[in-house]
Amino acid sequence: SRRVVLKEYVEGYPTEEHMELLPAADVDEAAAAEEGSVLVKNLYLSCDPYMRPKMSRPVGQSSYTSAFVPGAAITGYGVSQVVKSSRPGFAPGDLVRGITGWEDYSVIKPPFTGLLAKIQPDAGVPLSYYTGILGMPGLTAYAGFHHICSPKAGETVFVSAASGAVGQLVGQFARLAGCRVVGSAGSDEKVELLKKKFGFHDAFNYKSEGDDLAGALKRRFPEGIDVYFENVGGKMLEAALLNMRTHGRIAVCGLISQYNLTAGEKEGGTGVRNLECLVTKRVRMQGFIEPDHKHVYPEYEAWVVPHIREGRVVYVEDVAEGLEAAPGALIGLFHGRNVGKQVRASYWT
Ligand code: NDP
């Protein structure tokens, strides 16, 4: 049994040296037997961008989740199988999704057991999907698009980081809602996926556009953007602001281009340009987080599962095998190495 721990807090880009694969202590049988606890075998672990802010030394209230503890197993979303349960309603053999540890076995204790949800084994979808399309990123895309963007059929939608865990879904949901959707991504391979697999009406590789991102958007949105689903921030946000239509909406899902800036880079930054467009074009820009929308999950699951089964919504995953691959897979998110949703599978699945 093994676990991946954070060795020390990270400044700038994380590297494999910031994490360590260690033998895990024996399963804490006493903790597993405590009222409300559940011992699980971890089958799939999710690598998500929000884990990066949790690797920084905590300062004030910069993130909505608490920092990782150096020396302890990294925590994150996963799909697991119950081995032993002291929580009513959960029995050995049950498949569950929720917050678990980057280790072969985890004892999940309250309050985290409250976040565990049972998976119906006969749903007819791959188990790993519960870290992606049927997990946190899926609900993020659905609630973020439908509840924050207020889309209407016929409107134009732009999605950045469009081939990733969240973006590939926003694009498909926008198309199903009757919108015209364009995505940006960081390689020609990803752009092909956007157009051929996910049905984006158009897509471009932002790394090939030089400094003229505003021009790249202008060519694809001659009449402007009604909805921008923001995943990256920085220069893409500045370019999108210039191309927004009057009464457009920007849903701020994430700002991945900012997560690895050092304190010095943040201090020395000049801020986001073109914010005056919010005023002149009366644009609504709203941040949101998935935990506020958990109540929408049943509605979302009931809607999306038939869409998956019948092929109307597809999902591309990038699966890294084995716990030892987890640090590299997480780091890869910040260099665009993942093609689709980054998942880490156990060697025994
Ligand atoms: P992805 O699967 O999209 O992986 C991250 C991708 O971001 C990379 O593959 C890369 O794609 C792109 N990227 C990385 N660094 C940069 C950079 N400096 N500039 C531009 N693009 C970059 O991740 P997710 O779909 O899981 O997450 C997407 C966004 O949504 C993130 O900002 C994340 O924090 C946010 N999020 C927010 C949630 C919420 O509740 N608000 C919940 C879940 C996610 P490429 O090759 O295209 O550059």
pLDDT along the chain (349 residues), means of 10: 94 96 82 88 96 90 78 96 95 96 94 90 92 98 97 98 98 98 98 98 96 97 98 97 98 97 87 95 98 96 96 96 94 97 75
Relative to the CA of 290, which ligand 1 atom is closest?
A: 40
190 lines ligand 1 (CB under 6 A): yes
Q: Which atom number of ligand 1 is nearest to the Cα of residue 254? A: 32
Residue 300 · residue 141 · CB < 8 Å: no
Q: What is the pTM of this model?
A: 0.96
151 CB near ligand 1 (under 6 Å): no
Output the CA 163–ligand 1 centroid distance in Å: 9
- Does the Cβ of 52 fall within 6 Å of ligand 1? no
The answer, yes or no, to whether any atom of ligand 1 lies below 6 A from the CB of 48, is: yes
CATH class of 136-291: alpha beta
Nearest atom of ligand 1 to the alpha carbon of 255: 32
Q: Which of 145, 166, 205, 292 to mutate to test the pocket of ligand 1 (most atoms within 8 A of CB)?
A: 166
Is there an atom of ligand 1 within 6 Å of 186 CB? yes
Distance 85 CA to ligand 1 centre (A): 35
Q: Is the CB of 224 under 6 A from ligand 1?
A: no
Whether ipTM > 0.90 holds is yes
Q: How far is the CA of 253 from the centre of ligand 1 (A)?
A: 9
Rg, C-alpha atoms of the chain: 20
Measure the CA–CA gap between 59 and 49, rounded to whole angstroms.
19
Query: What CATH class has 2-132+316-345?
Result: alpha beta
> Is the shortest distance between the CB of 226 and ligand 1 below 6 Å?
no
Domain residue ranges of the chain, discontinuous segments joined by +:
2-132+316-345, 136-291
Residue position matching structure tokens 């990294």: 74
- Whether ligand 1 lies within 6 angstroms of the CB of 47 is answered as no
**If you take atom 5 of ligand 1, which residue's CA is the nearest one?**
333
Domains 2-132+316-345 and 136-291 share a fold: no
pLDDT value of position 349: 40
With contact defined as beta carbons under 8 Å apart, do 190 and 205 qualify?
A: yes
Q: What pLDDT, on the 0 to 100 scale, is given for residue 180?
A: 98
Distance between Cα 256 and ligand 1 center (Å): 5
Q: Kindly give the distance from the C-alpha atom of residue 36 to the centroid of ligand 1, in angstroms, as a whole number.
A: 34
Question: Letter for the amino acid at 143?
Answer: A
Distance, in Å, from the CA atom of 232 to the CA atom of 46, rounded to the nearest integer, reads: 19
Q: Do the beta carbons of residue 133 and residue 126 sit within 8 Å? A: no
Distance CA 219, CA 202 (A): 11
Ligand 1 pocket test: which of 231, 339, 343 has the largest number of ligand atoms within 8 Å of its C-beta? Answer: 231
| Residue bearing the CA closest to ligand 1, atom 17 | 257
Please indicate whether residue 10, judged by its CB atom, sits closer than 6 Å to ligand 1.
no
State in Å: Cα 41 to ligand 1 middle. Answer: 28
- Ligand 1 pocket member 261 (CB < 6 A): no
- Cα dihedral value 92, 96, 99, 104, nearest 10: 50
- Report strand pairing: 75-85 vs 19-23: unpaired
Torsion sign across C-alpha atoms 262, 265, 266, 267 = positive
Please work out whether the CB of residue 217 comes within 6 Å of at least one atom of ligand 1.
no
Q: Judge if the beta carbon of residue 232 lies within 6 A of ligand 1.
A: yes
